[in-house]
Copies of this chain bind each other. A is one copy, B any other.
Amino acid sequence: MATRTTSGQPPPGYDPSQFPPFAVTVDVVILTMSEGALNVLLVRRGEAPFEGMWAIPGGFKRPAETLDGAAKRELAEETGVDAAPVLKQFRAYGDPGRDPRMDVVTVAYLAVLRDVGAIVAGSDAAAASLIPVSDVLNGQIDLAFDHLRILRDAVERIRVELEVSGIATAFVGSTFTMAELRAVYEAIWGVQLDAANFRRSIVAEDGWVIPTGRRARPGSAGGRPAELYRAGRAWKEGGPIHRAVRPEERK
């Protein structure tokens, strides 16, 4: 921060008594599961630059608030949801020219939400929409600024978070079946998991999920009704499910 270099000479072309002003923004990548795929909440820009393009929602930090506070406020303004507990700062971006108008440093946050209907309702519905992440990563949808990079980093981060924290339960409803929870891992990691072993790993981790005693109704195809669980207290100290190492990576 404001500590200046201890080398006696200021670098050429730089006056240490001044500091260059920047705009500081927060961008919030909101991820959610919809129809078995990972989706991201995007807004359509209403003005130049990049008018009409999709972008990650965000806005300016105010001097009187913290970065976390700014992210929480922006998320609330955009979606009407208080998701402070699942907001995770994951990276800052400050490449010159990333905003053509001015020098902007942005701090990117990640939020995982369920209850899709309530999210979109709280926002300006015409300008906000859930978009499949794969459509963006495939290049079928272009994003403004360097938002493609930010989204890529966010998705990579959520893949890691899924393994080291219990964030998976943030994707599902307040009660859920093992199959629903498993689908989160399968969609985000792009793998197939053995249902039997998945269940055992989840249940073995103490306090992770709590059986409600109730059961879900089977789908129209039949099948045994699944037990319903709710999320336990404990998604801080490392999750129970780990990505399998692909055979060629093993020694």
Q: Identify the A interface with B (CB < 8 A).
A: 1-8, 11, 14, 16, 19-25, 27, 43, 45-46, 55-67, 70, 73-74, 77-78, 89, 91-96, 98-99, 101-107, 123-124, 127-128, 144-147, 204-206, 237, 249, 251
Contacts and interface: CB of A to CB of B under 8 A. Distances in A.
Contacts of A21: 21-23
Contacts of A146: 1
Nearest to A53: B3
A189 to B, nearest CB: 15
A86 B111 CA distance: 28
Most B-side CB within 10 Å, residue of A2, A3, A73, A104? A3
A64 B98 CA distance: 11
A66 B98 CA distance: 10
A131 to B, nearest CB: 15
B1 A27 contact: yes
Contacts of A23: 2, 19-22
B105 A5 contact: no
Given A2-B145, A55-B3, A94 B67 contact: yes
Most B-side CB within 10 Å, residue of A74, A92, A96? A92
B123 A19 contact: no
Contacts of A106: 1
Given A101-B2, A124-B8, A145-B2, A92 B95 contact: no
A160 to B, nearest CB: 8
Given A1-B145, A94-B107, 14 more contacts: A2-B99, A3-B56, A3-B59, A4-B60, A6-B123, A7-B123, A19-B23, A19-B60, A21-B21, A21-B23, A64-B96, A67-B95, A70-B94, A89-B91
Given A7-B78, A105-B107, A237-B249, A95 B66 contact: yes
B61 A5 contact: no
A54 to B, nearest CB: 10
Nearest to A101: B2
A20 B62 contact: yes
A1 B127 contact: no
